[in-house]
Structure 1
Amino acid sequence: MASILFFVVLTIAVAVLFKFYHARSWTRPVAVNYHFTRRCNKTCGFCFHTATTSHIEPLDHAKKGLLLLKQAGMRKINFAGGEPFLYSKFLGDMIDFCKEDLRLESVSIVTNGSLVKESFLKKHGFNIDILAVSCDSFDEATNIEIGRGSGNQVPQLYKIGSWCRQYGIKFKINTVVCRLNYQEDMNQQIDALRPFRWKCFQVLIVAGENDSNGTLRDGRKFLITDQEYRNFCERHGQQKSLIAESNRLMAKSYLILDEYLRFLDRDGRQPSDSILQIGVQKALESVYWDERAFRDRGGIYDWSRRVESCSEVKKGLDW
């Protein structure tokens, strides 16, 4: 009897362990944010991915990492920083590789907009699905106080919006709602710019990045209450493009690959080893990614550029 009971318990334990291992080993990094540089030409006071290093991987290493991610199930890549357009040649090469070689569903970029040029979009725009520009205020004095500021943030935003429409790229705006802008009414400008997505983040504090006097940025003075954040979102509730992301949804729902091709952990643990050294699955297992929060915040959406725009742009350009 004892031997039978032991066998039953052992069978159940093996089944549970197999199920757990199977689930872990088949984690899919569906959408990855590759912060390939930490360098930036702006000094936003609440930045949570600061220039603690100046490292950037060689292009062949970056491409190998992107290939590994595609093989592991990645469907969308988002290039961010720092400011990715500081390395426009590197960025352009990766964009083309992801679309033309890896055939990813979506390639997107997040930029502060200051270095975006029409010539870049003319050359690489056919391979860009989404261009997201960070704009935290339509008052230039506020932008300057935040740290974005040379005074031309808003005119440049309108230029980029126009270029995106011209080259068939989905235009997106990212806004960090903070102490300096949470009372602002942006409805008129958003109506005019017509982004396909307007993502509004509640300002976030990340340990070791922007949480003290000892870090490069101290975002604590920009903090707002949950209610103040909700008030901002309610004021702009008429905007169909509005995507609200509170701290709860944002903090651990993004898969972030850093400049060393390591997954970052927002649960207090160390980054993973490089995916070039240990592979994507082992790297994922060593960090915490809240996949449920990823889905709750609408992490999977219509992220490919419009087909009709692609054909129109392609016909109109000499590639």
Structure 2
Amino acid sequence: MRLSAAIASQMRLLMQLLADALRVAFASFFSKVGYGRTGAGAGTALSVTPVERKVDEGRAQNEMTTPTSVNYHFTRQCNYKCGFCFHTAKTSFVLPLDEAKRGLKLLKESGMEKINFSGGEPFLHDKGDFLGKLVQYCKQDLRLPSVSIVSNGSMIKEKWFQKYGDDLDILAISCDSFDEATNQLIGRAQGRKSHIDNLHKICSWCQQYRVAFKINSVINTFNVDEDMAENILQLNPVRWKVFQCLLIDGENAGEKALREAERFVISEQMFQEFLERHIGVPCLVPESNEKVRDEIMRFLDCREGRKDPSKSILDVGVKEAICFSGFDEKMFLKRGGKYVWSKADMKMEW
């Protein structure tokens, strides 16, 4: 009996080791095949910054991931032509509203607390109403603590704030320069419209309709020597997220790419010098390429310089899909991924 028990114990251990080896092998394989800022096929993607938790089950310790904060790139279409864009318009597909809601509900049930809608340009589809309905659903039906949007700002109208503003916590507008000529060189422009004037207009609407205002900037060869401190301090966003220009194979680099972003790339040293020049801006949140880690509701992994997608959460559920997202909890926290993201908790002076 003792011998049989010992053999059984050894067999269980062997099977556990084999399962672990297979899990690592499959994770390694999938990390080399879809991305995390969005994936293959159609146009809607999920980049995720989950929180990893360890749960004891008897003597075994299994790792589980919770998609606490999710970026949903539901469209690839955009009216700007930014030369460094890493999520290009390879398709015009947008997931139907009901299916999008179903995926968001699955994410909420798996622990999502913050959703960020992006693109492409998210206000382009259905003149912003599709986006507004998703915002309302996430806040009113799913009761998420934080709902945010990243936009270039060119398509936003005041009536959108009047209809959907109550349910939006944060609106981030992308602005890479406070010089109109530089924005034109980058491609962040539409005709002769002033991107900077529009930025100020949206900032005032955010104040009026009680939406926290945020600015995102991609630092590249055309703006790396610019001093933006005075303008940022004047606009006073709750966060100024500063990214180092990133190359993603098949998106803005490589033979199949729709952009050629190599000429926009700066070194880590140049990026650090830009950050040092703006050290006096309290809302600055930097994100270099060393810290960066989505198509039909897929999690994406960009660790290998590509956008490698998991299976869709609509097909396999959140837990299975997120296993291949390449999440690094320590890096997520290090780059300021967890912060006060509900406007109810921000203590804003409207």
Common topology (TM > 0.5): yes
Residues 284 and 130 (structure 1 numbering): CA distance in 2 closer, same or farther, change over 3 Å?
same
Match of 1:264 among 297, 300, 306: 300
Question: How far is the alpha carbon of 1:123 from its aligned partner?
Answer: 1.0
1:206-234 Cα distance to aligned partner (Å, 9 max, x none): 11111135410111110111110000001
SS in 1 for 2:213: strand
Contact 1:187 1:236 in 2 (8 A): yes
RMSD: 2.4
Structure 1: gaps (5+ residues): 314-319
TM-score normalised according to structure 1 size: 0.89
Aligned residues: 305
CA distance in 1, matches of 2:345, 2:278: 30
For residue 40 of structure 2, what is the aligned residue in structure 1? none
Are the equivalent residues in 1 in contact too, given 2:76–2:87 (CA < 8 A)? yes
Tell me the residue number matched to 1:51.
89
Q: For 1:162-202, what per-residue CA distance to the aligned partner results, in whole angstroms no more than 9, with x for missing partners? A: 11111111100000000000000001101110001000000
Counterpart check, 1:278 vs 2:316: yes
- Per-residue Cα deviation, 1:222-271 (whole angstroms, up to 9, x for no partner): 01111100000010000000001010112x1xxxx33x111222134741
- Indicate yes or no: 2:150 matched with 1:110: yes
Give ranges in structure 2 of 5+ residues lacking alignment.
Answer: 21-54
Q: Are 1:136 and 2:176 counterparts?
A: yes
Distance 2:347 2:161 in 1: 14
Segments of 4+ in structure 1 off by > 3 A? 1-24, 267-270, 306-310
Q: Distance in 2 between matches of 1:80 and 1:273?
A: 20
Distance, in Å, in 2 between the alignment partners of 1:164 and 1:23 is: 43
Residue by residue, what CA displacement relative to the aligned partner does 1:76-132 show, whole Å, maximum 9, x if unpaired?
Answer: 000000000002110010000000000001000000010111110111111000000
Structure 1 counterpart of 2:71, from 33, 50, 60: 33
Q: Which residue of 1 aligns with 2:130?
A: 90
CA distance in 1, matches of 2:261, 2:247: 6
Quick check: 1:167–1:309 contact (8 Å CA) kept in 2? no
Question: Corresponding residue for 2:210?
Answer: 168
Amino acid at match of 2:278: H
1:300 aligns with 2:338: yes
The 10-residue stretch of structure 1 (261-270 or 94-103) with the greater mean CA deviation from structure 2: 261-270
**In the aligned structure 2, how far is the partner of 1:111 from the partner of 1:308?**
21
Measure, in 2, the Cα distance between the counterparts of 1:292 and 1:69. Answer: 22
- Which deviations, in whole Å up to 9, do the C-alpha atoms of 1:58-80 show, x marking residues without a partner? 10000000000000110000000
Cα distance in 2 for partners of 1:198, 1:287 equals: 26
Give the SS at the match of 1:306: helix
